[in-house]
Chain A
Amino acid sequence: MITRREKIAGGVANFIDERTGAAKWVKKNLQKVFPDHWSFMLGEIALYSFIILLLSGTFLTFWFVPSQEELVYNGSYQPLNGVKMSAAYESTLNISFDVRGGLLMRQVHHWAALLFLAAMVAHLMRVFFTGAFRKPRELNWIFGVALLTLGIVEGFLGYSLPDDLLSGTGIRIAEAIIQAIPVIGTYLAFFAFGGDFPGELFIPRIYTVHVLLLPGIFLALITVHLMLVWYQKHTQYPGAGRTEKNVVGYPLLPVYMAKAGGFFFIVFGVTVLLGAFASINPIWIFGPYTPTQISAGSQPDWYMGWLDGLVRMAPPLETYLFGYTISWNILIPGLIVPGIIFTGMALYPFIEAWATGDKREHHLLDRPRNAPTRTAIGAMSLTFMVVALINGGNDLIATHFNLSINQIMWGTRIGIIILPPLAYVITKRICLSLQRYDRELVLHGRETGRLVMLPHGEYIEVHEPISPEKAYQLTQHEQALPLEAPGPDTNGVAPRGSLKSKVRARLSKAMLGEQIAKPTADDVKALEGGHH
């Protein structure tokens, strides 16, 4: 029996397939398998908050006026009546006080932006610490780094648009960074602002970049990013039954679709609840931008905080050469260090592959402890960022905890040099300890906490063997040996490119040199043979 509903569905499917030939592709991909793990949802949160940003942002454009034309406010927010301000700021006040749902959408937009950046950073950390960036996924890693970089820029431009006192101060600082670029900086600043700071052209210009240019690039990059995930199939955590050659998980339809779709609504719902309950960026309190005013405790959004913290802790260095000025106090923290960080991040997969000599595809994720050096590098970088971020809020920390701002500044200046290497060493040691723990667990089982007295009076703690699945999970990883630098030949002549191979051997040793030997089948057998 064919029901009426089936007939209609069949008709639609037929119409589409005869014009696109989609049936074959859809049939194949409806059964596409997605592995399940909570950490795979971080990237999803980034994607969903981007969609929320598109929706709430479109709403805001219906009322926002991207203009720095000066006018006098006369509206429903009494405290600012009669105050001179830009049309951009006035329209933001109107959205907040006169458009129903305007304040909610503004707050949702801002919260979603914070979430977007936070989710991208968390996703990046998951990908880094599990080694998901390894071949064949290096390109997707680079797209990810590009998305994060553009995300920071997009967020900065976004919160600059309302032209309030706080964001105007941020633009002033951005102008100083542009102006500090040697040789062409002054010209770039004049071109960006259409003349002297602040002028009347900057807000309309960054508006176009914020709502059209960058979102367009985002859409393109996200599309490619997701297409590659789809095409290369998702990575999976190691475990019994999971290999480099298969992918274990749930089919796209219906389970993954329902979970992912449901999760979109959950993220959207939570963002809206944040917009409802938690006030964010109350621009009416800051007042309109004017270059002569400032409020104490000026803070950028969190994802810019580390940059601001670096700028704050920079030493007061300027060089004056032949009548020209180089502002190291701005260039180093504002451009050079971020440049090194983001370039290093983009190149990392290639550096690691070069050091380990590993050219194979990897679809099984690493447990962070089994890649101690990588994990330590990650912890070191995070420590650097966190110290910088702390200094970005040094004024607030000083006032909240009654500390001297000078001491905090000196603490972070010293800390940013000492703490990251310390984090590296400690993390590496922790990873090796965990490897040792895994070895113990496989060889001697789980401690049960049960003490037993033997007939001759000796007390022992009973160990319980772990399941074969667990034992496999703890031992499935491979432990590659470091590459050796080729030594001199029989005539004592060093091989060509010997410096390069020496560097490579050194890196390789750092990467793979220290491992706790994992238990082998023989070890386990030997133990079972002589079990006590």
Chain B
Amino acid sequence: MSNQLEPLADPGLPHHVHRKADTDPAAEKRAERQVSILFLLSTAGTLLFIYSFIWIPTDLFVFVPLLGNINAHNLGIGAGLGFALFFIGAGAVHWAKTLMPDEEVIAQRHQMRSSDEDRASFVETVKAEAGKVQLGRRSMIKRSLGLALGLVGLSPIILLRDLGPLPEQRLLKTTWDKGVRIVTDPGNRPMKPEDLEVGAIAHVLPQIDDPEHRKLSDIAKDAAILIRVRPAELKLSEERMSWTHEGIIAFSKICSHMGCPVALYEQQTKHLLCPCHQSTFDVPTGAKVIFGPAARPLPQLAITVDSEGYLVAAAPFDEPVGPSFWERNI
């Protein structure tokens, strides 16, 4: 290619063209005025800011075309401060562009690399200093220092040990257990099968003694949903069928993908949809994944009714709820 051939010659920096303000005193005066006007606009902005801050009530809403109903206080102080800052900048830039010297300057570059002498003397200095320390000869010191430094580096990790407890069985268990009543969320009211019509969905939690102080970390595992369909529509194994009650089927509400609540139910298609990543679960087939990134069905909760006719769990979940983790044993 043309590498060895002679390239076009560099004609050098183009001739400088003067601005109007450099040659015409009237233009110079005008530019000066413009800069001052910009700075004065900034002052007006600050005044608007101060006025709005003190005198516009914080709960006053005004209608602004395109923006709708917005808070007048926020608008006033924001517009004031915004213009105050903007026009300082605009003034400075205009000043620089019209009145400050605009002739380009050429400076020379120097290679980053140090000169050969400097590099050589650097190497010598390092060698000489290392020789004084006799690091090469004192291998015992070198090794024991390495060991000490390596070990002391572990201590921050050890220090952080109490950041949290070990996982133990915590991810495997929920509050649900045999005979635990199913209560509404919110409301904490026990439910009977007739409270749920065919086609309806209920968001539920296990009944506990002190529902006012339910812990979020319990809710994050316990949350479940009840869906009622016609029993004939369920396509489940005999065992799973026995986990349902009169067409009411219960699933963990915590997505088996990344733990978002699976809260969207399409009554017509009987699909559950997770709004986070669009994993779609088919209710009649036991929440099998029919679309999206989730790899497992939502865990099904076995339910039945107790002696008073209230819906209860027939057994705890038979698998961990929520997203996967290393120790999760299928």
Contacts and interface: CB of A to CB of B under 8 A. Distances in A.
B75 A276 contact: yes
Given A262-B93, A469-B11, A298 B327 contact: no
Interface residues of B, number: 99
Contacts, number: 349
B259 A295 contact: no
A265 B82 contact: no
Given A190-B165, A250-B104, A320 B330 contact: yes
B109 A190 contact: no
Contacts of A136: 112
A486 to B, nearest CB: 20
Contacts of A197: 217, 220, 259
Contact of A325 (B75, B275, B291, B325): B325
A318 B100 CA distance: 65
B258 A330 contact: yes
B88 A248 contact: no
A240 B106 contact: no
Interface string B96-109: 11001110111111
A101 B53 contact: yes
B203 A292 contact: yes
Contacts of B163: 191-192, 194
Interface stretch (A142-150, A420-428, A473-481): A473-481
Contacts of A232: 112
A62 to B, nearest CB: 16
Interface of A: 31-33, 70, 76, 97-98, 100-101, 103-104, 107, 136, 169, 172-173, 175-177, 179-187, 189-199, 201, 232-233, 240-251, 254-255, 258-259, 261-273, 275-277, 279, 289-298, 308, 311-318, 320, 323-327, 329-330, 333, 361, 363, 394-395, 405-406, 409, 442, 468-469, 471-472, 475-476, 478-481, 515, 517-522, 524
23 contacts: A186-B171, A195-B217, A233-B107, A249-B104, A254-B100, A259-B96, A262-B89, A265-B90, A265-B92, A268-B86, A273-B86, A277-B67, A290-B216, A291-B259, A293-B263, A296-B275, A311-B293, A324-B327, A325-B329, A330-B293, A361-B111, A406-B291, A519-B8
A290 B263 CA distance: 13
A273 B261 contact: no
Contacts of B1: 479, 481, 515, 517
A428 to B, nearest CB: 17
Contact of B326 (A107, A185, A265): A185
Interface string B251-288: 00110011111011000000000011111000000000
B11 A468 contact: yes
Nearest to B277: A312
A289 B294 CA distance: 23
B290 to A, nearest CB: 10
Given A173-B259, A290-B219, A291-B254, A193 B164 contact: yes
B126 interface: no
Given A173-B259, A180-B323, A518-B2, A266 B86 contact: yes
Given A176-B259, A190-B166, A262 B91 contact: yes
Given A103-B74, A261-B92, A276-B78, A472 B85 contact: no
B70 interface: yes
Nearest to B88: A265
Contact of B275 (A185, A248, A297, A517): A297
